[in-house]
């Protein structure tokens, strides 16, 4: 049985609940949503993505955060993306638990999260004022949807196939899909 959400909570109750929980929970306007586990493809793709971007950005002022870092979307919305990167100095709360200024956020989708990650969560992430790039990565085929901020609007482009290369001007680099999906059975 899949649990969609848990009872209503205040933000303070959510912080205490999430800290004591064995698993991560996202929080949206009083509702708590337990995070599901990932697959082998999911784990490998995230490591490949982190490694590929890490190599390209190692000489710059970038900070990488795994899915253990919670992102504050607004005072009543908190999410755990699979990867977040900050260009420049990270803005964190006093406990260094909540990140306020991601430059890039990435989610690896599964059949159960695809609609949410491409729809509702896309809108939440795009509401973060300093976010420049949102990656939605498919774990079963070589396809990445890339949302980039263009002034006051967002542009979405799909990159498909192992020969595709994603331009990431906000990070001053390009990202080949072949590196994200290296060794992955698709």
pLDDT of the residue at 93: 94
For residue 126, the enclosing domain spans 38-180
Q: pLDDT-based confidence at 5, cuts 50/70/90?
A: low
Q: 6: pLDDT confidence band, cut at 50, 70 and 90?
A: low
What is the number of domains present in the chain? 2
Residue among 84, 125, 122 nearest 103 (CA): 84
Region 39-52 average pLDDT: 95
- The answer on 88 and 146 residing in a single domain is yes
My answer on whether 43 and 31 are in the same domain is no
Instruction: Report, as an integer, the average pLDDT of 159-182.
Output: 97
| Residues 18 and 92 reside in one and the same domain | no
Average pLDDT over residues 8-12: 93
Residues contacting residue 183 through CB under 8 Å, at least 6 positions apart:
44
Question: Do 31 and 106 belong together in one domain?
Answer: no
Map 23-81 to HEC letters. CCEEEECCEEEECCCCCHHHHHHHHHHHHHHHHHHCCCCEEEECCCCEEEEECCEEECC
Which residues are CB-contacts of 114 (< 8 A; sequence separation ≥ 6)?
138
Regarding whether 25 and 92 lie in a shared domain, the answer is no
Instruction: For residues 64 and 94, give the distance between their C-alpha atoms in angstroms, rounded to a whole number.
Output: 18
| Residue 186 resides in a domain | no
Whether the predicted pLDDT of 2 surpasses 50: no
Looking at the fold, whether 73 and 100 belong to one and the same domain comes out as: yes
The CA distance from 66 to 106, in Å, is 10
Same-domain pairing of 12 and 101? no
Could you report the per-residue pLDDT of 142-162, keeping only the tens digit for each? 999 999 999 889 999 999 999
For residue 120, give both structure tokens: 């509702």
185 in a domain, yes or no? no
**Residue 31 lies inside a defined structural domain of this protein:** yes
pLDDT bucket at 87, cuts 50 / 70 / 90: very high
pLDDT attached to residue 120:
86
pLDDT computed for residue 4 by the predictor: 56
pLDDT above 90: percentage of residues in the chain: 81
Same domain, 117 and 139: yes
Domain shared by 119 and 152, yes or no: yes
Q: What is the pLDDT at residue 1?
A: 36
pTM higher than 0.85, yes or no?
yes
Residues 65 and 134 occupy one common structural domain:
yes
- Co-location of 4 and 63 in the same domain: no
Q: Give the CATH number for residue 140.
A: 3.90.1570.10
Residue 36 confidence (pLDDT): 76
């Amino acid at each position: 049985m899949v649990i969609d959400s848990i009872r209503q909570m205040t933000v303070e109750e959510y912080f205490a609940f999430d800290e004591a929980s064995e698993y991560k929970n996202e929080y949206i306007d009083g509702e708590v949503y337990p995070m599901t586990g990932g697959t082998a493809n999911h784990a490998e793709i995230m490591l490949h993505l982190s490694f590929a971007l890490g190599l390209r950005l190692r000489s710059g002022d970038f900070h990488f955060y795994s899915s253990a870092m919670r992102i504050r979307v607004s005072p009543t919305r908190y999410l755990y993306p699979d990867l977040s990167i900050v260009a420049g100095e990270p803005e964190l709360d006093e406990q260094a638990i909540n990140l306020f200024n991601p430059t890039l956020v990435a989610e690896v989708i599964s059949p159960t999260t695809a609609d949410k990650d491409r729809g509702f969560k896309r809108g939440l992430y795009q509401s973060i004022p300093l976010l420049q790039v949102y990656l939605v990565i498919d774990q079963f085929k070589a396809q990445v949807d890339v949302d980039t901020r263009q002034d006051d609007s967002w542009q979405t482009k799909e990159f498909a196939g192992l020969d595709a290369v994603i331009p990431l001007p906000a990070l001053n680099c390009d990202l080949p899909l072949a590196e994200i999906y290296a060794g992955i059975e698709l």
